Amino acid sequence: MAIIQSASFDCTKNMHTPLQKISIGNYELPNNALLAPLSGITDKSFRTIAARYGAGMVVSEMIASAALTNGHADMARRLGKPDNLPHMVQLAGCEAKWMAEGARIAEESGADIIDINMGCPSKRVTNGYAGSALMRVPDKAQELIEAVLGATSLPVTLKMRLGWNDELLNAPDIAVAAANAGIKLITIHGRTRQQFYKDHARWHLIKPVVEAVDVPVVANGDIVDLSTAQKALEQSGAAAVMIGRGAQGKPWLVGQVGAALANKPVPATPNFEEIRALVQEHYQLMMEEYGEGLGVRCARKHLGWYFETLAETFVVNEGLRKAVLTEKEASNVPRLIDETFDSVERRAA
């Protein structure tokens, strides 16, 4: 059946005063909505698409500095540069020598900005005193920050959480030391490490960081649309927002929020046929990035999220959806995607 338009973006609550533009080193961001770094998700393919749809900045997947230095193929792949925007590479690690060497490799590989990960809550990362575990040892965190700053001429930014737990909300202190050392921008996820992704991000607890430093602060956590972006900015006083899970299956969302926050015309949500073409393009980009054997498996989560987005407006054939997400032969997937799109029906009001 012919279907014209998917769900539109609500831009009726644009801010009256656009946010001030942000610069990171010599790079001025086109708007104040950034795509968060998400391991296994914000690969080159996804970042290229989000950048094309107007994201103010996109950040690579977290790259383990020691593994990168030791030639790990997947870490090297994560250095892939997207189109249209400066290339921000996020590094994680627990040893100054590896963080410094990782920064040098990233710069040689074409990075424009280095971001230091002190926010990842996963046990695999924090057990090695990397990610958000560094917030428990601020002296160690500062050592890594200074190692990266000393190893590269590129601007360096920092992403972290409120603290390790509610008894250690030390983000303001770490932010001050980092900014004094030369960090150009700081992103705060509004949860502690011990919260993981439970409860709600507490944007108001980002405000003490904003008040403590002169560099731009970005609010992150539970920002999934324009309304939550505005609430996060109001409660935190931050200069920008970073959107992660809200962009899954909606790579156009970050650019829409950025335009709305700037009081600029908001790009239309892609219509049905445009989403179909986008899904096919995204799939092909992933085949090029990963190769067919790995690519067909890595693409499944993205295809699933696109179908979830489609299901907000349409009834998606469950049998065909499952067929797409379980198909092992890469060359069969484009046909199954088209069959799935051909079969959908508009959801009753």
DSSP letters, 1-39, are ------PPP--TT--SSPPPP-EETTEEPSSSEEEPP-T
Beta carbons of 324 and 333 less than 8 angstroms apart? yes
Q: In sequence order, what are the residues at sequence separation of 6 or more whose Cβ sits closer than 8 angstroms to the Cβ of residue 201?
A: 189, 190, 191, 220, 221, 222, 223, 232
Per the residue annotation, which of 11, 94, 120, 298 is the catalytic one? 120
User: 130, 94 in Cβ contact below 8 A?
Assistant: yes
Q: Is 11 a catalytic residue?
A: no
d(CA 261, CA 228): 12
- Residues 3-15: b if buried by 16+ CB within 10 A, e if exposed: beebeebebeeee
List residues with catalytic annotation.
120
